[in-house]
With several copies, the nearest count.
Chain A
Amino acid sequence: MTSPLPTPSPVPFGQEIEFRAALREAIRQEMRANPSVVLIGEEVARYGGAYAVSKGLLEEFGEARVLDTPISEAAIVGTAVGAAMTGLKPIAELMYVDFAYLAMDQIANQAAKIRYMFGGQIGVPMVLRAPMGTGRSGGAQHSQSLEALFWHTPGLRIAIPATVTDCYFLLREAINSPDPVVFLEHKALYVSKGVLEPDAPPMGVAVTRRKGQHLTIVTYSRQLFYCLQAAEELAKEGIEAEVIDLRTLNPLDLETLAQSVRRTGRALIVTEDTLTAGVSAELSALIQEECFDYLEEPVLRLCAEDIPIPVSPPLEAGSVPSPARIAQTARRLVRRAR
């Protein structure tokens, strides 16, 4: 059924590796550990993935478990759904999360609702991986951040990692999840590097990437690094920002978030999805609900503009948060005179 396994190369813990390599390693380890794990998507096999995430997996696991598909997003997801209900643990890949719109019925009406509609008889243990975000001037149909759609859909879990360590551990956890997990990978991070730590907290645990007492910056995915850069800038001015990386939206670690904001009294939410009715709205509402009596200032949101994403580089870059704008907003929040 599956091609013979070569002598397993050890996972490169402690070493600096690429974001995409960490994802590849997670898939490889799970495919080695469990013959029912398969990878399905456009160009995932021979091409090795549009962003080279699955390079080498076809060679190791064979065509039966690493499957190139036609350009049929709805069928790719629907096939994964049926496979997940009958014994396989599929990892379906969309070449860009923008294409989820072609498969939304299978994602939101089927995968997310099957366990519930059928009274808990069965789950859909699948992972839907997709690149998201701006940074390559891909334009309005290749640069979106659609995590809010998935978060608004009961039945879906959402992982949205920023670090190589989270890529590795969260993806392994996602593959073993009894319910569908949408796994969102920022395309601008694929070639970023980081040290693969030997361990990471599970889904549902936010990580405070930087401690601080003047304000709490809540973010995830690529914007985490922009926020950390901004925090360094702010530190030089004596403003200590606490930076929280959510890592997963469902489950959400509301407690870590709330505790921090209760302490700092100020919250700035930074996301790359368009502002209106986006992830930042829910986070703002939750923080306000949880920390109302502790808030010194309004909860602020710095997100993508409410526009389709333009191709021209200066416009694309200008349409999403940048370290400079994050720092400036934080300054205004902390120094606000009433």
Chain B
Amino acid sequence: MSEIIPEARRLELLRTMLRIRAFEEKVGELFLKGGTAGSMLHLSIGEEGAAAGVALAMKPGDTFTTHHRGHGIFVARGGDVNRMMAEIAGKITGYCRGKGGSMHIADMSLGHLGANAIVGGGIPAVVGAGLSSKTLSQGSVSVAFFGDGAMQQGICFESMNLAALWKLPVVFAVINNQYGMGTRIDRASATLDFAGRARGFGLTALEVDATQPEQVLAAAQELIEHARAGRGAGFIVANCYRFYGHARKDKSPYRDEAEELEGRKRDPILNHKDALVAAGLLSEAGFEEMNGAANLEMDEAVAFAQTSELPGLETMFEDVFDPSIPRPVSVDERLDRVLGGGA
């Protein structure tokens, strides 16, 4: 398969995965230091192959939605790591001015229609984006990234049926990390052949080993261009393993030791690195350099987040509606009206 992937892309794939992992590790540390906003932080360590593989198969102008574990996907799509880190820290310099946090990062300029804290919540939006693309001849494909857990949410199937029925330029990308919180997929889904399930809704479906990132890239490219050509919506299930807990603090007591150790051996980064070294495209030193650069970049992102300001209270009332519409009347303003005069 790798034959069809040019060398530069293969290296880009590695760099992207290293940047994802560095981002997740650094944001995880920031969380432990109390430097992030909120009690929930979901890391995608172990899933870099799925995120990078699909993301690199997308083109500028393509759109996508992600889920609660979406940092890596957006890093791969070119997200500004400073603004990402700042958002996760709840700072005014963040992508969403501190209003969204880790689970609601978005960037319209890069086609990121938003992460979502509702499992499955972001899936139908890509059907709409696909409809816009088709109706307005935008030439773009829209990709929904979500986890295996969303494969039990009704909205997922309604969306698949609609995308297939209307032959929209849409691809559903399931990052199957084997778990939904503490529940292994076989305890959540009556069948594990997700690709087969998707075919039942008229989608062209492929299943790939996401610990072999080039497989993901190749399959995603095929489905995305197939969809772009108007030949029908696609589905890709990228199998991997969630290396650590559901959220940064979760120690996964519900998983057995042996399984975790085995799972962590299935490392998309090391697999791909070995492939590149074997192909003579990369040296150990080159790898270290790449990894060092990634970590440095993320250290700087953390510094940016830490030195950024928290949003001012007045910003709370902004962004509810378009600026042309008056902002909501605050509770204090109401009290002033009723009681007369200020406090």
Q: CB distance B152 to A70 under 8 Å?
A: yes
> Which of chain A's residues 26-83 have a Cβ closer than 8 Å to chain B?
35-36, 38, 42-43, 46-47, 50, 64-65, 67-72, 74-75, 77-83
**Could you tell me which residues of chain A, from 63 to 109, have a CB within 8 Å of some CB in chain B?**
64-65, 67-72, 74-75, 77-88, 90, 98-99, 102, 105-106, 109
Residue B63, interface by CB 8 Å: yes
A26 to B221, CA, bound (A): 43
Q: Which chain A residues lie closer than 8 Å to B135 at the CB level?
A: 1, 36, 38, 64-65, 88
Contact, CB under 8 Å: B124 / A87: no
Q: Which residues of B contact A74 (CB under 8 A)?
A: 124, 154-155, 158
User: How many CB-defined contacts (below 8 Å) exist between A and B?
Assistant: 308
Asked if A318 lies at the interface with its beta carbon under 8 angstroms from chain B, I say yes
| A130 lies within 8 A of chain B by Cβ | no
Pairwise interchain contact A137-B188, C-beta atoms closer than 8 A? no
In the assembly, what is the distance between CA of A69 and CA of B129, in Å? Answer: 16
Tell me which of B5-13, B298-306, B332-340 binds A: B332-340
Of B119, B121, B126, B182, the most chain A CB neighbours within 10 A belong to B121
Tell me how far the C-beta of A110 lies from the nearest C-beta in chain B, rounded to whole angstroms: 6
Q: Report the nearest B residue to A335, measured CB to CB.
A: B339
Known A110-B125, A302-B335; judge A71-B152 contact (CB<8 A). Answer: yes
Cβ contact within 8 Å between A47 and B128: no
Verify if A7 is at the interface (C-beta below 8 Å from B). Answer: no
A179 to B327, CA, bound (A): 13
Inter-subunit contact B318/A82 (CB<8 Å): no
A64 and B326 CA atoms in complex are apart in Å by 35
Q: Beyond A71-B150, A78-B127, A116-B320, is A86–B155 a contact (Cβ under 8 Å)?
A: no
CA distance A301 to B108 in the complex (A): 38
Q: Which of A159-167, A210-218, A325-333 lies at the interface? A: A325-333
Q: CB-defined interface of A104-137 with B at 8 Å, one 1/0 digit per residue?
A: 0110011000111111111100000000000011
Question: Are B180's CB and A71's CB within 8 A?
Answer: yes
B155 touches A289 (CB 8 A): no
Are B120 and A71 within 8 A (Cβ)? yes
B176 located at the interface, meaning its Cβ lies under 8 Å from any Cβ of chain A in the complex? no
| B 127-143 to A, binary, CB cutoff 8 A, 1 in contact else 0 | 11111111111100010
Return chain A residues, CB-CB under 8 Å to B90: 137, 311-313
Q: State in angstroms the CA–CA spacing of A81 and B131 once bound together.
A: 11
B100→A47 contact, CB < 8 A: no
Per a CB cutoff under 8 Å, which of B128, B181, B330, B331 touches A86?
Answer: B128
For B331, what are the chain A residues with a Cβ–Cβ distance below 8 Å? 275, 301-305
- Provide the residues of chain A in CB contact with B181, threshold 8 Å: 42-43, 47, 50
Q: Is B4 an interface residue (CB 8 A)?
A: no
In the complex where A71-B180, A136-B38, A141-B117 touch, is A82 in contact with B313 (Cβ < 8 A)? no
Known: A79-B162, A118-B100, A155-B321. A315 touches B311 (CB 8 A): yes
Determine whether the beta carbon of B131 is less than 8 Å from that of A137. no
Q: Is the CB of B152 within 8 A of A312?
A: no
**Contact of A308 with B by CB under 8 A:** yes
CB of B126, distance to nearest CB on chain A (Å): 6
Q: List 28 A-B contacts (CB under 8 A).
A: A1-B136, A46-B183, A74-B158, A75-B154, A78-B159, A81-B128, A85-B113, A87-B136, A99-B118, A114-B114, A115-B320, A116-B99, A116-B320, A118-B114, A119-B95, A119-B97, A120-B318, A120-B323, A137-B37, A138-B40, A179-B325, A290-B338, A300-B335, A306-B320, A307-B320, A311-B90, A312-B37, A312-B98
A→B interface (CB under 8 Å): 1, 35-36, 38, 42-43, 46-47, 50, 64-65, 67-72, 74-75, 77-88, 90, 98-99, 102, 105-106, 109-110, 114-123, 136-142, 154-155, 157, 178-179, 251, 275, 289-290, 292, 298, 300-308, 310-315, 318-319, 328-329, 332-333, 336
